[in-house]
Structure 1
């Protein structure tokens, strides 16, 4: 089996793995080894979470070997290369998610900063209660189910299940009470988390302010003071970034990209994109295709 489309490779012997569709940002699989171990070579290109509800395994990282015994949790942020082996009979779940997917799933509110900080640090086989491990497996499998079946609202449902996974991982790090923060920075941090979650919903500035229990004016002044940009500019920048990913990395038509980003009118999306970037969606896609073609030709010329 190959588990990971971003450079992380692995092989499975005699094992059963629930088939989950591979998407650009996130993969989630249920793992049940049979007569042979499951082995992964992880190059650190994505965030990784593994939950064992039964069985054992081992992790090799930076010359050290960590023995894993269920029920336990393993978390490897991006940049941490490792080799993971799950022995025959191990059962659990595995998750791989890009930085973008994790960023959109970090919860808002007072705990958001703590969760984000905790996710920078590996969790190497932390023991958890059996019920916690079961809940984590169900949440990971729910992410995969939502992504696989492509039901209405599936992407949002998958993201909210991912939120539950991240909170559970944060709890394994024994979180402390939140430290005092300067008011403007706390407001902006929570605002940016909400933008990751709701930019596609096209929340108004008033909606963000209402959720944060502050006035629109206070939100705007805090964002301007901390970032030097307006709240609307940051929201638009997030939509443009996602539009560029979809236009340059998928075969979706501009109208389909507009729908995926919550625009009810494809023509309005085109005007919005040109206003923000200076080019139309069609031209942006053509330039992306041309860049890929040039790279491919360059690689083909290698000896």
Structure 2
């Protein structure tokens, strides 16, 4: 029997059409082999996931051939070529996901980054307990049901079930437990470095905390313990330093300085600067701020 990049059509196989919007190049297939083997040639163009609830088969990776015995799971990331053959009587589900669809489906944040990183690597024949296999099979099947549906919100529902399936593959991959929390000085050092990079992007404290994979409360506590200031106070002080430097050393108009520093509105910049310094920007421009006030350079903080 010839093996093709998509599922070899069998009368007893239920397959669902791929969607066209939210989840491009995504397919979900219920596997129910009848009296003949079922085969796939996986050319590596997209990510491929399989769960075998029951039955047997084999995976040919070119250099090696591995037996597959249900219940088990298989994940091959894009770029990995292989051939998969399932023997008669096998049951389970198959999932095909493009890189674009995977990126859209997996949520942002620390866990989302772990999921994406884990799915860059293959998961080959990992044994599952029957309940795990059934849950993953149902999640994949529901992706197909929603992709086939014309009901309102079907694409979003399909993405919801796809996230559940991808999270299951991630958990099956035995993710490494989160590392011991970083010391406060390390958190502060990383925060100050990021602040220099994203000061003009006007990141919130929550944005910095999310990037550093710590809670906002922990970031605030660490910064106050080490510097005696809150993250927001340091961010505001650093913006004032930049503003005073531009006012003193450039010929830019106040509105241009506001735009350079990421303020969308010059009026808001004026109010911010006056609130932080007690003086409007125009008055500072007429003064020699370099001698009047000396600020620390947080970029050089050890």
TM-score range, shorter chain: 0.5 to 0.7
1:11, distance to aligned residue in structure 2 (A) = 2.2
Residues 186-205 of structure 1 aligned to structure 2 (within 5 Å):
none
Map 1:121-140; keep pairs closer than 5 Å: 121-140=121-140
Displacement, 1:20?
0.7
Instruction: Report the Cα distance in structure 1 between the residues aligned to 2:35 and 2:143, rounded to whole angstroms.
Output: 27
Residue 109 of structure 1 pairs with residue 109 of structure 2: yes
For the residues of structure 2 that align with 1:20 and 1:11, how far apart are their CA atoms?
A: 14
Gapped regions of structure 1 (runs ≥ 5):
188-204, 222-229, 233-303
Q: Which residue of 1 aligns with 2:50?
A: 50
Cα deviation 1:129-168 (Å, max 9, x = unaligned): 1000000010001111111013211111111111111111
Rounded to whole Å, the distance in 2 between the matches of 1:145 and 1:98 is: 18
Distance apart, 1:25 and its partner CA: 2.1
- Report the CA distance between 1:95 and its aligned residue: 0.4
Query: In the alignment, what sits opposite 2:86?
Result: 86
Q: Which of 14, 17, 24 in structure 1 is aligned with 2:13?
A: 17
**What CA distance in whole angstroms lies between the structure 2 residues aligned with 1:126 and 1:110?**
25
CA RMSD of aligned residues (A): 3.4
Unaligned runs of 5+ in 2: 195-202, 221-230, 236-261, 265-302
What is the Cα deviation at residue 57 of structure 1? Answer: 0.7
Alignment of 1:221-300 (within 5 A): none
Task: Determine helix, strand or coil for the equivalent of 2:126.
Answer: strand
- CA drift of 1:28 comes to 0.3
Alpha-carbon distance, 1:9 to partner: 3.7
Aligned to 1:163, the other structure's residue is in SS state: helix
CA distance in structure 2 between the aligned counterparts of 1:122 and 1:129, rounded to whole angstroms: 20
Is the Cα–Cα contact under 8 Å of residues 75 and 123 in structure 1 kept in the other structure? yes
TM-score scaled by length of structure 1: 0.57
How many residue pairs match? The answer is: 197
Question: In structure 2, what is the equivalent of residue 68 of structure 1?
Answer: 68
Query: Counterparts of 1:17 and 1:10 in 2: how far apart (Å)?
Result: 9
Larger radius of gyration: 2
**1:51–1:110 distance in 2 versus 1, CA, 3 Å:** same
